[in-house]
Structure 1
Amino acid sequence: MTARPDQARDVREEDAFDVARVDAFLKQRIEGLQGTPVVKQFPGGASNLTYLLSYANRELVLRRPPRGAKARSAHDMMREARVMDALKASYPYVPAILARCDDEAVIGQDFYVMERLKGTILRRDLPSELGLNRDGVRALCLGFVDRLIELHQVDASQPGLKELGKGEGYIARQLSGWSERWRQAATEGSDACEDIIAWLQSQQPRHDNASCVIHNDFRFDNVVLAADNPLGIVGVLDWELATVGDPLMDLGSSLAYWVQADDDPVFQSFRRQPTHEAGMLTRHQVVAYYGERTGMDVSRWRFYEIFGLFRLMVIIQQIYRRYALGQTTNPQFAGFGDAARYMAMRCRRLMAGMD
């Protein structure tokens, strides 16, 4: 059975851009575009924004940053496009880049346009049209983890990729950087979390596990399932945070979003992907499977698990700060301050060995 492709919606007023300028720019760079594009916006997009451009004869996807203040190194559209270009030959799930624009005269921000990969993107719940039983869900889950393992096996010394790495010390740099981002994202009433930062500093491994290409946001809602085969992944999206670094840090970031069936009701309310379904591996089972497939030592997993949650907490708080400062009016961000406080509590429970 097949499910409907991911559905784009009307563009939010605050996320609109000058369609005529984009159309003129693209027709100078992509041959054969016909008509004027109808523009829709894909759901999600708490960080960068993603749009569907439907021409008479072709569909394209545009990515651009949100308006308002942003972290210095975040939302770099040109870097994301370069990474995707460099990775495409070795990792076929990367969409092809068709055009890049660093001329802010077009829409006021950098953006890029890529091919549209038609298929199903999983959101909060598993579509019944997929017709997956427990065994099918397990196969889907294992295929998802396998695609992450395949990414980690890409030769990171290739031109365009090796430049992303800064050598040994990735874990220490990440901990320092995300700790500073947390402090900069503070709002009235937010938790200082200095105890969590101190725990991570005391528990961090002395050396990185490896230097490989990592995605840093590998989730079900960033993969595209084949329209006619829900077990086949045809695309991996959102390469904004991709770099060369420690693979267990990547896995930890991915599992921070992994809400499973026995989690508490508050964490269940955060769920954005169907990781609670019967047949899905638990977080511990994913880690064990990853270790078995790669031969990597996962015995000190607790550090990576807590760092993943801390990092997600920072991202949530950064988005909430934009909302608190009035830089976005999107109502879905109103509760992000409470969400960040919950994530801090979750970190502390893990630090105390309670979960």
Structure 2
Amino acid sequence: MTQIDQAVDIREGEELDISAVDQFMKKAIPGLEGQPSIKQYPGGASNLTYQVDYGDQSYVLRRPPFGKIAKSAHDMLREARVMEALKPVYPYVPNIVAICDDHSVLGCDFYVMERLKGIILRQDFPKDLELSAEDTRKLCLNVIDKLVDLHTVDAKAAGLDKLGKGAGYVQRQIGGWSDRFRKARTDDVGDFEEVMAWLNDKMPDDIAQVVIHNDYRFDNVVLNPDNPFEVIGVLDWEMATIGDPLMDLGNSLAYWIEADDEGPFQMLRRQPTHRPGMLTRKEVVDYYMEKSGFRAEKFDFYEIYGLFRLAVIIQQIYYRFYHGQTKDKRFAAFGHAANYLEKRCQRLISESTL
């Protein structure tokens, strides 16, 4: 059995009030005894995720980051309610155990869910998971299949059809992310104006209106430790909504770094898409379109949008670091990353035939 994903020591400045967590947990979950052990998951640069253990009973607590955050961002209550609605029709969603909107507990909204004990593929495969190129391909296809499955969920039957704002999703995304970038820009990062103008000019109509995850990556997928080809969970539903499926795929491909990509892009890699047997970005798009039935003649717009959106997310995090709102040293080089992504977008724009 491959090593199960584990939490680690809590980062400085992101500690939780153990007594407050304990009181809340014991009130929400009858039968808990003793004092909790709390650790933190190392992945993620946005919401904070903790493992809360009472003996052999294990839970996961999700809360927003510390520091000043945008009013509409990191909505824990929305994320939990989306998960509750989606669970009956998309079984890979973890069960929600408790939701807290009382800020006297931890100073924020948060929720507690079941812990799915499994493998999470982060930057590299775990040391005890060795897959051949053929098996890696099989795993890769299974993970893409779960995105296709999500995009075929009947949103109305799940009561999620009102989650989005209707037609015009693509337009709202380009306008919204452009606005967010301008608000989060720091003096040491490019202005992205050429990229934003191109995206605004080349916007297609929505392909469809479906349930989308908006952050679908290998490190948000949980694999069965006894059968690492089997997906048993999909995590991080903060940005899930009703929207365009190809925009969702474009978001995922921004993280899909191949073995022969240039050095600066390799430095952004946070999932093992460089392994022999992994599909290329083009193969992912072709496979997805064939399986899902959602098609576009050219994928340029969605690829560049995904990279731009990633740059905005990185810049929003860097803005917090730049202004001393977080001390997390992982974020120190995020300004360089945003600058690289601007150049990558500009190059793809110059090569595009759209």
**In structure 2, C-alpha distance between the alignment counterparts of 1:80 and 1:98, rounded to whole Å:** 13
- 1:325-340, aligned counterparts within 5 Å? 325-340=323-338
How many matched pairs?
A: 353
**In structure 1, C-alpha distance between the alignment counterparts of 2:225 and 2:295, rounded to whole Å:** 36
**In structure 2, C-alpha distance between the alignment counterparts of 1:125 and 1:55, rounded to whole Å:** 30
- Look up the equivalent residue of 2:331 and give its one-letter code: F
Render the CA deviation track for 1:33-68: whole Å, top value 9, x for unaligned.
Answer: 121110000011200000000102410000001111
**In structure 1, C-alpha distance between the alignment counterparts of 2:33 and 2:258, rounded to whole Å:** 46
Contact 2:245 2:294 in 1 (8 A): no
Contact 2:63 2:111 in 1 (8 A): yes
1:60 equivalent to 2:42? Answer no
Name 1:277's counterpart in structure 2: 275
Render the CA deviation track for 1:10-54: whole Å, top value 9, x for unaligned.
Answer: 111210111111111111111221211100000112000000001
Question: How far 1:158 moved relative to its partner?
Answer: 2.9
1:341 equivalent to 2:346? Answer no
Contact 1:287 1:298 in 2 (8 A): no
**In structure 2, C-alpha distance between the alignment counterparts of 1:216 and 1:179, rounded to whole Å:** 17
Contact 2:22 2:35 in 1 (8 A): yes
TM-score (norm 1): 0.97
**In structure 1, C-alpha distance between the alignment counterparts of 2:72 and 2:10, rounded to whole Å:** 26
**In structure 2, C-alpha distance between the alignment counterparts of 1:40 and 1:306, rounded to whole Å:** 37
Render the CA deviation track for 1:219-261: whole Å, top value 9, x for unaligned.
Answer: 0000001011110010000000000000000000000000001
Worse-superposed segment, 62-71 or 210-219: 62-71
**In structure 2, C-alpha distance between the alignment counterparts of 1:160 and 1:106, rounded to whole Å:** 30
Question: How far 1:159 moved relative to its partner?
Answer: 5.0
Worse-superposed segment, 9-18 or 270-279: 9-18
- Look up the equivalent residue of 2:39 and give its one-letter code: K
Name 1:111's counterpart in structure 2: 110
Question: How far 1:354 moved relative to its partner?
Answer: 7.5
Stretches of structure 1 that go unaligned for 5 or more consecutive residues are none
SS state at 2:39 partner: strand
SS state at 2:242 partner: strand
- 1:5-16, aligned counterparts within 5 Å? 5-16=4-15
1:175 equivalent to 2:174? Answer yes
Contact 1:221 1:273 in 2 (8 A): yes
Worse-superposed segment, 293-302 or 254-263: 293-302
Pick the aligned partner of 1:303 from 301, 304, 309: 301
Name 2:235's counterpart in structure 1: 237
Contact 2:59 2:112 in 1 (8 A): yes
- Cα 1:60–1:136 change in 2 (3 A) is same
RMSD over aligned Cα atoms: 1.2
Name 1:199's counterpart in structure 2: 198
**In structure 1, C-alpha distance between the alignment counterparts of 2:104 and 2:44, rounded to whole Å:** 23
**In structure 1, C-alpha distance between the alignment counterparts of 2:158 and 2:287, rounded to whole Å:** 31
Name 2:81's counterpart in structure 1: 82
Worse-superposed segment, 17-26 or 77-86: 17-26
Name 2:47's counterpart in structure 1: 48
- Look up the equivalent residue of 2:220 and give its one-letter code: N
Name 2:223's counterpart in structure 1: 225
Runs of 4+ in structure 1 deviating by more than 4 angstroms, as ranges, are: none
- Look up the equivalent residue of 2:287 and give its one-letter code: Y
Question: How far 1:103 moved relative to its partner?
Answer: 0.5
Pick the aligned partner of 2:261 from 240, 251, 263: 263
**In structure 2, C-alpha distance between the alignment counterparts of 1:276 and 1:159, rounded to whole Å:** 36
- Look up the equivalent residue of 2:224 and give its one-letter code: A
Contact 1:83 1:160 in 2 (8 A): no
SS state at 1:105 partner: helix
1:209 equivalent to 2:207? Answer yes
**In structure 1, C-alpha distance between the alignment counterparts of 2:350 and 2:296, rounded to whole Å:** 19
* Percent of residue pairs bearing the same amino acid type: 58
- Look up the equivalent residue of 1:228 and give its one-letter code: D
**In structure 2, C-alpha distance between the alignment counterparts of 1:230 and 1:130, rounded to whole Å:** 9
Name 2:128's counterpart in structure 1: 129
Contact 1:225 1:234 in 2 (8 A): yes
Render the CA deviation track for 1:248-293: whole Å, top value 9, x for unaligned.
Answer: 0000000000000110011111110000000000000000001111
1:313 equivalent to 2:290? Answer no
SS state at 1:342 partner: helix
Name 2:36's counterpart in structure 1: 37
SS state at 2:51 partner: strand
